[in-house]
Amino acid sequence: MSLAAQDVGSGSIGLDVMGDLDGSGEVGTACYAGILGRCRECDFQGSCICGKHANGMSDILLLDRSRWGDPILVCTNFEPALIALYAVQSMLAIVVMCRILVAAKVQVKVARQHGCSKCGHLPLCSLSAGLVGAVSAFVFGILKLVDPSRAVGIDPFITLLASLRNIVMTIGNELFFMHLVRTSLKAEEASLGRHRVQEAVQHNLWSFRKKIALFGATNTIPLIQCVLISMGVATSLRDQMLVATSFYFTELLRGVASSALIFYDTRHLMRTFESCIDAARASFSVAAGGVADLAAVLRQSDARVSSSSPTLLRPHLRALGSEITNLKQSAATLRKYGYRTLKAPIIMSCLWFVILAIPPLWGGQSYFISLQTSISLCAMWALSNMYIPKKETVVIQGCARVVQSV
């Protein structure tokens, strides 16, 4: 005897019936075999019998349907592997939190030196967002270690933590790029004018808000599913598969869009910095009387000072040299971090494409969510390093090295 399919919880679930028992005509064990995988062994209720360290408590698309009176379909979660992933994620979150605190301490001093408020200092805002993301990732990992049955898309608190982590880390990255944009615009104020620079800053702020709203909306899909389930809606496998595939598709689009935007913003900013550096070099050369060696000019200026000769050139050269140094440092930071950051969305886009294309992987979201969290934490580690100077240097020495290298 065979059975093609059985309706369970208003969702069509493919089942394999193992045949009659002892030729009595009674139906044998019915195991799930469908788009999400195949169960090798199940009980007489059709619930898959998981091994000692396996379960069906997968995130987003829950394959353990027992809470709704349905069978366990497939046991996709291997607990030792997930424990290792969550432990690594939690330890990585602690390391990133410590690094962010070090960077934040440095940026608090920078904000004081520039006389700006802490809330208005973009690097500090970016680090604050990263800190919230790291804390949420740590709490997420600990809760998963303590109670693996808490699934994203089902449990409200664990779902909120996952969505919060994605949103605030996106905000942190966007604030970093906003800071670089404003640095480049400030350098162009002399050529563009204060009014055009202010317009560009407002446009950049509006673009930032749109990207955060768009990317944040994609991370609310698990929260929407959680709310619907709490209301007794979308409890069938078919409905949850629809929500899950929507989530995977939007994550794929978000990864592709993030990659394209980071690549475009990085190239645009690099060109802007290069033009600003060229303009600053030209101004320096004119101010120095056609001399392009800052160290030599400063030595001549020191000699004039020692002989009590008046000099008005040295303060102006210091200002231009400081401007060149700041631009070069920002360009180096952008080049180093911008293209490094590009790796994370590209990797995640490839992963989400593979997940979307292979339905049996839909039940393995617990692995991918933990992996995505670890990748995001590594990106935040790299970002925090951008805000920690490796060593303090005198402005004159830094300017000399910059001018000699350009």
CATH for 368: 1.20.1070
Task: Supply the pLDDT for residue 232.
Answer: 85
**Alpha-carbon span 389 to 106, nearest angstrom:** 8
Task: Supply the pLDDT for residue 86.
Answer: 95
Q: Is residue 259 part of a domain?
A: yes
Domain count, the chain: 1
CA distances (Å), origin 123, targets 214, 318, 396? 22, 25, 25
Q: Is residue 128 part of a domain?
A: yes
Residue 374 CB-half CA count within 13 A: 18
Q: Is residue 19 part of a domain?
A: no
Q: Is residue 350 part of a domain?
A: yes
Q: Where are the beta strands (DSSP E) in 102-183?
A: none
Q: Is residue 395 part of a domain?
A: yes
Q: Is residue 139 part of a domain?
A: yes
Q: Is residue 330 part of a domain?
A: yes
Q: What is the per-residue pLDDT across 90-143, written as a single tens digit (0 to 9) for each?
A: 999 999 999 999 999 998 888 888 777 777 788 898 999 999 999 999 999 999
Q: Are strands 11-17 and 30-34 parallel, antiparallel or unpaired?
A: antiparallel
Domain containing 248: what range? Answer: 78-405
What letter represents residue 3's amino acid?
L
Q: Is residue 206 part of a domain?
A: yes
**Alpha-carbon span 66 to 47, nearest angstrom:** 8
Task: Supply the pLDDT for residue 315.
Answer: 66
Stretches where the chain sits below pLDDT 70 are 1-29, 183-197, 199-201, 203-204, 284, 286-321, 323, 327, 330, 333-334, 337-339, 390-406
Task: Supply the pLDDT for residue 83.
Answer: 94
Q: What is the per-residue pLDDT across 355-366, written as a single tens digit (0 to 9) for each?
A: 999 998 898 889
**Alpha-carbon span 75 to 248, nearest angstrom:** 20
Answer yes or no: are the C-beta atoms of 173 and 384 closer than 8 Å: no
